[in-house]
């Protein structure tokens, strides 16, 4: 009976030792694969951010382009306020100079840009819709609607960008020391600023 017990204990110890070795081997393989896994996730998050930013940039570029076309359309009419047109045209050029980059944008830059664009957008659309011949120029109406739609789309795209950027930032925080600096960029790996104020 005692011999049977000793055999059982021996078998259990051997099984436990084998399980421990297997677990250690799996953990080692996991650690060896970790850098590749980290890189894959990083690249995926980085690509998502790039696409989200490109969508924002394209929408903003389209909105400013439509404002430019709307002003030009007004200038083609036989009667319009030339002084107001010149003022709005100059303001549009100034807005282009206020644009910012994803990696370095600050709350102050965002506020300055948004304030200038919102003001210009209201004034340009008002300038068009108050034109005495507005109804005779369908393109004015289409451009005005397109500008307002782009403005709403920008809000949605910024929320989406912040979601991707937040995931990216959390990933960097959780993988410090495991990331390899990409060779295709001169900028160090760092958290991305968000459109919303950080809590």
Q: Give me the count of residues in the chain.
A: 199
What is the pLDDT at residue 184?
Answer: 52
- Whole-number Cα distances in Å, 67 to 60, 86, 91, 196: 11, 13, 11, 26
User: Contact at 8 Å (CB) between 53 and 161?
Assistant: yes
CA distance linking residue 163 with residue 178, whole number of Å: 23
CA distance linking residue 21 with residue 175, whole number of Å: 27
What is the pLDDT at residue 182?
Answer: 57
3-state class (DSSP) for residue 75: helix
CA distance linking residue 65 with residue 59, whole number of Å: 10
Per DSSP, 180 falls in state -
pLDDT along the chain (199 residues), means of 10: 42 43 44 64 92 97 98 95 97 95 94 97 98 94 98 96 95 77 59 79
What is the pLDDT at residue 42?
Answer: 87
- Return all residues near 30 (Cβ < 8 A) that are at least 6 apart: none
- Return all residues near 118 (Cβ < 8 A) that are at least 6 apart: 151
What is the pLDDT at residue 37?
Answer: 81
């Amino acid at each position: 009976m005692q011999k049977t017990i000793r055999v059982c204990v021996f078998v259990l110890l051997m099984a436990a030792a084998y399980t421990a070795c297997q677990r250690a081997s799996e953990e080692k393989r996991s650690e060896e694969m970790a850098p590749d896994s980290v890189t894959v996730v990083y690249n995926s998050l980085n690509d998502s951010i790039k696409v989200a930013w490109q969508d924002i940039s394209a929408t903003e570029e389209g909105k400013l382009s439509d404002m430019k076309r709307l002003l030009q359309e007004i200038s083609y009419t036989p009667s319009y306020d030339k002084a107001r047109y010149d003022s709005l045209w100059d303001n549009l050029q100034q807005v282009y100079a206020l644009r910012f980059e994803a990696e370095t944008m600050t709350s102050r830059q965002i506020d300055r840009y948004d304030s200038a664009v919102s003001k210009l957008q209201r004034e340009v659309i008002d300038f068009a819709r108050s034109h005495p011949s507005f109804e005779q120029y369908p393109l004015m109406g289409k451009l005005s609607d397109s500008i307002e739609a782009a403005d709403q789309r920008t809000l949605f795209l910024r929320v989406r960008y912040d979601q991707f950027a937040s995931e990216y930032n959390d990933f960097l925080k959780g993988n410090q020391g495991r990331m390899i600096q990409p060779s295709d960029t001169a900028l160090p790996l760092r958290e991305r600023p968000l459109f919303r104020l950080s809590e």
